[in-house]
Amino acid sequence: MMQPVMTSSAESLAQPEGLQGVVADWSSDQRAFKNVPWGKAMMWIFLLSDTFIFSCFLISYMWVRMSTTEPWPNPSEVFALTLWGKKIPLILIAIMTFVLISSSGTMAMAVKFGYEKNRKMTFILMLITALLGATFVGMQAFEWTKLIFEEGVRPWGNPMGAAQFGAAFFMITGFHGTHVSIGVIFLIIIAIKVLRGDLDNERPGFMTGRKGNYEIVEIMGLYWHFVDLVWVFIFAFFYLW
């Protein structure tokens, strides 16, 4: 009498091994950990590597500032603006910080409405976040222009004191500003995809998650909150110290 052939669940769920298995997992949007899609896991890895880079920049800045023999410019004077005949210290930096922190709030709300599949509110809030980010970059461009053309600060020199000031300032704020600019571009792209209903109709993929899933909005939110958090440290170390 023939015995029925039993197939174990492990055999039925067998996956390719090695590099082919990795490619198969990524292409099918398998989850790296429980309830964590590949897109979110990869974003966390990227943010971790970026944390090391910004940490190196800020630690180098502190070392240079403590070791230089020339007087370091006073940030309250360097970044002061003259309004109504009076010099107001750090007023522009304070506004920039307020704008960027506010954008974190609108991004968090966009994620909330995204998971509720409220396309209209998600689109509006992501667009507001992008507008606030663009405003921040615009004010940073104004700050750079003022320092370069009015104060004569250069990456290789500084008429107000230590020459390293210019190099540290343009490197740290420029690197952060680039992150914000890239974030604004992706915010607009994802907001358009939300408005068109692409996230509701698109096939499952690495960056979109399951069909009808707004995980990409949350992934973008992780990036944006990280950029905002980094600015808090730059503000504290560079402008307040």
pLDDT cut 70: percent of the chain above it:
80
Q: 215-234 vs 164-196: helix axis angle to the nearest 10? A: 160
N residues, the chain: 241
On average, the pLDDT of the chain sits at 86
pLDDT at residue 211, as a whole number: 44
Amino acid at 171: M
pLDDT at residue 83, as a whole number: 87
Residue 191 reports pLDDT greater than 90: yes
Question: Rounded to 5 degrees, what angle do the CA atoms 52, 55, 60 make?
Answer: 125
- Does the residue 24 lie in any domain? no
Confidence of residue 214 (pLDDT cuts 50, 70, 90): confident
Contacts of 7 (CB under 8 A, 6+ apart): none
- Does the residue 23 lie in any domain? no
User: In this structure, are strands 86-88 and 81-83 parallel, antiparallel, or unpaired?
Assistant: antiparallel
Confidence of residue 128 (pLDDT cuts 50, 70, 90): very high
Express each pLDDT in 148-186 by its tens digit: 999 899 998 888 889 899 999 999 999 999 999 999 999
DSSP state of 30: -
Name the domain count of the chain. 1
pLDDT at residue 17, as a whole number: 66
Express each pLDDT in 31-72 by its tens digit: 555 567 788 889 999 999 999 999 999 999 999 999 998 999
The pLDDT of 24-37, averaged and rounded, is 58
- Does the residue 22 lie in any domain? no
**Which residue from 172, 154, 177, 175 is spatially nearest to 62, judged by alpha carbons?**
172
Express each pLDDT in 230-240 by its tens digit: 999 999 999 99
- Does the residue 137 lie in any domain? yes
SS3 239: helix
Express each pLDDT in 103-116 by its tens digit: 999 999 999 999 99
Q: How many CB atoms lie within 10 A of CB 145?
A: 10
Query: Rounded to a whole number, what is the distance in angstroms from the first to the last CA of the chain?
Result: 86
pLDDT at residue 203, as a whole number: 52
- Expressed as residue numbers, the domain containing 151 is 32-239
CATH number, domain at 209?
Answer: 1.20.120.80
Confidence of residue 88 (pLDDT cuts 50, 70, 90): very high
Q: How many CB atoms lie within 10 A of CB 39?
A: 22
Residue 29 reports pLDDT greater than 90: no
Is residue 120 within 8 Å of residue 157, measured between CB atoms?
no
- Does the residue 109 lie in any domain? yes
Confidence of residue 212 (pLDDT cuts 50, 70, 90): low
- Does the residue 18 lie in any domain? no
pLDDT at residue 12, as a whole number: 41
- Does the residue 5 lie in any domain? no
Is residue 171 within 8 Å of residue 153, measured between CB atoms?
no
Question: Rounded to 5 degrees, what angle do the CA atoms 106, 110, 111 make?
Answer: 120
